[in-house]
Structure 1
Amino acid sequence: MSAHSPTSPPAWHLYVPKLVSVLRQGYGLDDLRHDLLAGLTVSIVALPLSMALAIASGASPAIGLHTAIVAGFLISALGGSRVQIGGPTAAFIPVVFNVIATQGYDGLVVATLMAGMMLILAGLLRLGTMVKYMPQPVITGFTAGIAVSIFSSQIKDLLGLDLATVPATFLARWQAYGAHIDSLNPAAALLALGTLAALVAMRRWRPNWPAFLIAVVAASLVTALLGLPVETILSHFGPIPRELPTPHLPSFDITRLRELLPSAFTIAFLGGVESLLSAVVSDGMIGGRHRSNCELVAQGVANTASALIGGLPATGAIVRTATNVRAGARSPVAGMAHAVFILLFVLVAAPLANYVPLPAMAALLLLVAWNMSEIERIRQLMRSPLGDRLVLVVTFALTVMFDLTLAVEVGVVLAAFLFMHRMSEVVAMDAHVDLVEEDEDDFTRARRIVGHDALPDGVEAYRVSGPLFFAVANRIDDVLRAFGKPPRVFILRLRQVPLIDASGATAIGSLVARCRRTGTALIFTGLQPQPARILADMGIVADGEVLRFADDFPQALAMASAGHTPTSS
């Protein structure tokens, strides 16, 4: 079929931004009005949130605003989702905080630049669809772990502790809190508690109100009117500049790139997963369908641009995207408008943000952490099989105690082994003898297959059901041990084997070699196209002597009855 047929569009079509598709389909003034209103609504949510996320990450609030402007605009303009909103997100907080603590802010900029390149490459290699294979226990485990990390990082500002720096690791952080608990600032604690109470109340009784902005503005007014002795953005970070930074390329060398590679991979992985999960959520809300690889390319371009202006990593933000949809967004123009509205705030009204108290920002992030924790999802998964619960708990614990990279690596590996074990349980041979690998002592005779009374004398048969892959292939070579002496003819029934991998093919090759040594004729029946192709590619073909193929079992029995036996080598 031609690559340009109606059912198979050119590959470059997969990377056409949704913005272009929307404009080509027709875009009117009514659509623009809805998108501008939605963009304004989202910007009201994003303004305080972007600053709070930057502060929690160990950066200045201005950097969070700059990231929301540049990355948010590009993610909407170039992305493959119709209503995705991008910018800094809470998921990056532990990662960014650790990179800044260990490599400095320049190291974060270089890591973000590398991550952007990785995301572009992943999109061009069409790896976007691979995210659907990420196990849910791993996703929930590291998301809940990030929520706990965010909570623990906010205790200093929440209680107004006199602590110069917050340690990067979980245990050291709480040890520092305990050592400085006597410096608790009652005014900061009460202000944070009041802000949190206001956020929870508005979330319950006025869910359509811009709770983040209202709570932060109210806390700022209370701080100014009462002269509360708490830290503000101005006292801690200095004034927010009323301009965007000039793009520039950070300095780096090969050694520096090698050191930052794990952090860059973590940022790229988290950015890709978070953005595509957000796109899936938005698809469900609007009944649309995103282009995952186009979205990854857009995320890569946005992170590269953010790094060039000294910004933070960015990705699709699920809460802001949902707010965008509920506000009536119809196209990516809404996301672009949200970035423009934040830019207007920076250019015109940035000094107003200088008076925002840090305890109010900490309270805001506590609510964000609670929303990320997915308590109901955890409760549901804790009723799942033991293996899935183990993956969830291990991923969660490693995320909290160590770092996200190690947690995801271990979680995915555990989930893969769990999957392989479950797949091996569905691969069976003949009379309920499965291929699950179990330890055996040297004195236990291999299990004898029963139910062969109808076979001719000297003929044995096995039926394999399920995929023959590396998790079960090592048992294939043991099948001849089930007999007291090697049979004259051995029939391996493979019609119910839909696929085979290199390990399975290697095991089949070992079986052929064993049959050649024992003088046993080997007949395969019902070989499916994929297994046949793999075996042929690896040189395992019918030779008319040791190995022959039959279309079905009756034909194999007829061949066996002919009495042919290969010469033992």
Structure 2
Amino acid sequence: MSGVAAVRRLLPAASDYRPLRRSWRADLLAGLTVGIVALPLALGFGISSGAGAEAGLITAIVAGVVAAVFGGSNVQVSGPTGAMVVVLAPIVASHGIGAVALVSLMAGVVVLVAGVLRLGRAVSFIPWPVIEGFTLGIAVIIFLQQVPALTRADADAAAHTNVVVTAVTALVHADPLYLAWALGAVAIVAACMVLLPKLHKAIPGSLVGIAVVTLLALWLPTPLADIGELPHSLPPPSLPAFGLGTLGALALPALTVAALAAIESLLSARVAASLADTGPYDPDRELVGQGLASVAAGLFGGMPATGAIARTAVNVRSGAKTRLASVTHAIVLLLVVLVAAQPVGLIPLAALSGVLMVTAVRMVHAATVRSILRSTRADAVAFVITAIVTISVDLIVAVVIGMLVAGVFAIRSLSRATGVTREPIPGEPVPGDERIAIIRLDGPLFFAAADRVFDTVTSLDGVSVVILRMSQLELVDATGAHVLSEIVQRLEARGITVLIKGVREGHVELFRTVGVLGALRHHKHLFTELPAAVEHARSHIAREASAG
């Protein structure tokens, strides 16, 4: 692919909207539906991150449009997400609210560069149990993050960056009266979200629940805190203030945010592609779009954005076919800012906490957890460790550790697939055959299995000729080839003639480079057929007998 074609593939094209003539009504309706669903989530995630409800709305609007136009999926919906909140909350606690916009810019540039460098396929290397463990950990964190809002213990919450410590501290210092009112609000919202969709799928349970709680809070003298004043328009774009010291302090958090944004967005796009026939997604272009979305959100004072799996699923199930649906969802939220900012500001924080708690619970599927835990020990361990590290340490660290655990188990399993078998000599036996050993090597020969192969073959005793059958040898790395060279040298040093049979064409160059072929006593000790190798081995045994 030429450079111009590669760049053009990462940019918007007319083909993105080819089905629009037939699907525009469905796209508009889907966008309206997603906008209604996204409103409480944008507000809630903004507040939970510490950046505020305004930042959540700005991100959903600005990033929602930019990612829809420039992203690699036709139906992806982007904005603030629970996973991003989990990463941002400690950043806000350590560096203040002003750091969020700058981190968004920095992370957006990193994700954009990753897309340009065509790193979009990297997410396919993350094992499923690690992804699910990561998801479980995020769900637990989102749930626990709501505890301070339900206890009115925000001062204590700001004193810690670990969500478990924050939740426990908030409960210890809880105001019992406030907690009772807040739990009542959560119960109302949860009941609406669970029960109303059973009456009709089109009923937005979260929005109805929020409306009921807000009306009750206006009618009754409750102590519940509300969102507060929201802007009636988008702020003008501006570059956040920064210095070299600030950039250095935020470099690692920005890389963490960028890694999370890339992983979550690509996973969401992949899920969307599997839900309906809305066209394939381009992972590299998706990274470009998400990078630009976070940059744009940062310029408007928002927070980093990612593809949102739940909202994307709602979009697809509502009939979306093109990017118009995602753009419409952002326009719906913009109209809320322009027209309904004042009533939205009256929403109690406890109601939003109820929405996020139910959302967190819905992120975890019991059937999925059971299937992973009952699958293999390796997958179960990777799943559990990833979830625990996500909750107790860090999301990106959790993914890395989960992949390492899964990788160790995979390597161990792969090494066990390496076979070292002594075979009988085919045909009628002749005197001296007992001094010939045919060793068949099967499967992969790489660093994890190399020592075992070396010990097994070099421990042969009472033989004069060893035939190494390699036609069934699949994967061979440099370590495996080096061990084969050492095996030949060790046996030859003991006076044992080594014959090699059936080297695959793809292994010849590696064996020549590492020295496997050069370690043979004679170049004629390399064979393509087993009968010829056996005949040659018998001739060696016959010469030894005559010499004796």
Q: Same-fold call, TM > 0.5?
A: yes
Where in structure 2 are the equivalents of 1:321-400 lying within 5 Å?
A: 321-400=312-391
> In the alignment, which of 33, 45, 53 is matched to residue 45 of structure 2?
53
Match of 2:54 in 1: 62
Of 173, 188, 193, the residue aligned with 2:187 is 193
Residue 305 of structure 1 corresponds to: 296
Compare 533-542 and 220-229 and name the one that shifted more.
Answer: 533-542
Alignment partner, residue 135 of structure 2: 143
Asked whether 1:265 is paired with 2:265, we answer no
Q: 1:484 to 1:162 in 2, by over 3 A?
A: closer
Q: What pairs up with 1:160-199 in 2 under 5 angstroms?
A: 160-161=152-153, 163-166=155-158, 167-185=160-178, 186-199=180-193
Residue 182 (structure 1) shift: 4.3
Helix, strand or coil: the match of 1:202? helix
In 2: Cα distance, 1:136 partner to 1:143 partner = 11
- 1:502 matched to 2:497? The reply is no
User: Secondary structure of 1:355's match?
Assistant: coil
Answering whether residue 122 of structure 2 is matched by residue 122 of structure 1, we say no
**Distance across 2 between alignment mates of 1:163 and 1:543:** 72
Could you tell me how far 1:457 is from its partner in structure 2?
Answer: 5.0
Which residue in 1 is equivalent to 2:148? 156
State how 1:525-536 maps to structure 2 within 5 Å: 525-536=501-512
Higher mean alpha-carbon deviation, 114-123 vs 489-498, is at 114-123
C-alpha separation in 1, matches of 2:220 and 2:88? 35
1:314 to 288, 305, 314: 305
* Aligned position for 1:444: none
CA separation in 2, counterparts of 1:60 and 1:493? 67
Pair 1:489 & 2:465 matched: yes
Give the partner amino acid of 2:270.
Answer: V
Shift of 1:164: 4.9
Choose the corresponding residue for 2:204, options 210, 223, 240: 210
Note closer, same or farther for the CA distance 1:374–1:482 as it changes in structure 2 (3 Å cut).
Answer: same
Q: Tell me which residue corresponds to 1:428.
A: 419
User: One-letter code of the match for 1:558?
Assistant: E
1:81 Cα offset (Å): 1.1
* Amino acid corresponding to residue 478 of structure 2 in structure 1: A
Structure 2: gaps of 5 or more residues: 544-548
- Give the AA of the match of 2:66: L
- Structure 1 unpaired stretches of 5+: 432-449
- Counterparts in 2 of 1:44 and 1:171: CA distance versus 1, 3 Å: closer
Q: Which amino acid aligns with 1:504?
A: G
Cα 1:560–1:259 shift into 2, 3 Å:
farther
Which residue number in structure 1 is paired with residue 276 of structure 2? 286
Residue 65 of structure 2: aligned partner: 73
Equivalent in 399, 410, 416 of residue 407 of structure 2? 416
Are the aligned partners of 2:19 and 2:322 in contact in 1 as well (CA < 8 Å)?
A: no
Q: SS at 1:464's partner residue?
A: strand
Instruction: Give the structure 1 partner of residue 267 of structure 2.
Output: 277
Alignment partner for residue 524 of structure 1, among 497, 500, 518?
500
Q: Are 1:159 and 1:189, in contact at CA under 8 Å, matched by a contact in 2? A: no
Match of 1:446 in 2: none
Over residues 35-59 of structure 1, what are the superposed CA-to-partner deviations in whole Å (9 max), with x where a residue is unaligned?
2222122111111210111111111
Q: Output the amino acid matched with 1:421.
A: R
Please say if residues 109 and 310 of structure 1, whose CA atoms lie closer than 8 Å, have aligned partners that are also in contact: yes
What secondary structure sits across from 1:467 in the alignment? strand
Distance 1:555 1:256, change over 3 A: farther
Q: Which amino acid aligns with 2:122?
A: M
User: For the aligned residues, what is the CA RMSD?
Assistant: 2.7
Q: Contact 2:145–2:167 (CA<8 Å) still a contact in 1?
A: no
Paired residues of 1:242 and 1:348 also in contact (CA < 8 A) = no
Quote the offset at 1:515 in angstroms: 3.6
Separation in 2 of the partners of 1:368 and 1:269?
A: 23
Deviation at 1:10, TM superposition (A): 5.2
Cα distance in 2 for partners of 1:14, 1:488 equals 63
User: 1:228: which partner in 2?
Assistant: 222
- Give SS of 1:499's match: strand
CA separation of 1:497/1:344 partners in 2, compared to 1, >3 Å: closer, same or farther?
same
After superposing the two structures, state which structure 1 stretch, 382-391 or 123-132, moved more: 123-132
Q: In the aligned structure 2, how far is the partner of 1:96 from the partner of 1:422?
A: 38
Deviates more, 1:257-266 or 1:128-137: 257-266
Q: Is the 8 A contact 1:71 1:306 kept in 2?
A: yes
Q: Is the 8 A contact 1:89 1:314 kept in 2?
A: yes
Quick one: distance in 2 between partners of 1:561 and 1:250?
A: 82
Q: Residue 428 and residue 52 in structure 1: after superposition, are their counterparts in 2 closer, same or farther (change >3 A)? A: same
* Amino acid in structure 2 at the alignment position of 1:534: L
Partner of 2:14: 20
Q: Deviations over 1:413-445 (max 9, x none)?
A: 1100000111112111115xxxxxxxxxxxxxx
The structure-2 alpha-carbon separation of the partners of 1:178 and 1:21, relative to structure 1 and needing over 3 Å to count, comes to same
Structure 2 residue 531 is matched with structure 1 residue 563: no
Q: Aligned equivalents of 1:79 and 1:194: distance in 2?
A: 37
Cα drift, residue 256 of structure 1: 4.5
Judge conservation of contact 2:74–2:321 (CA < 8 Å) in 1: yes
Instruction: Tell me, yes or no, if the aligned pair for 1:240 and 1:354 is still in contact at 8 Å.
Output: no
Q: Does 1:554 align with 2:537?
A: no
Alpha-carbon distance in 2 for matches of 1:163, 1:276? 36
Q: Determine if contact 2:87/2:395 at 8 Å carries over to the other structure.
A: yes
Please give the alpha-carbon distance, in whole angstroms, between the structure 2 residues aligned to 1:250 and 1:561: 82
Contact 2:100 2:302 in 1 (8 A): no
2:456 aligned residue: 479
The CA distance in 2 between the partners of 1:162 and 1:85, in whole Å, is: 31
**1:443-462 counterparts in 2 under 5 A?**
451=424, 456=433, 458-462=435-439
Displacement of 1:518 in angstroms is: 2.9
8 Å CA contact 2:420–2:456 kept in 1: the answer is no
CA contact (8 A) 2:187 2:354 kept: yes
SS class of match (1:465): strand
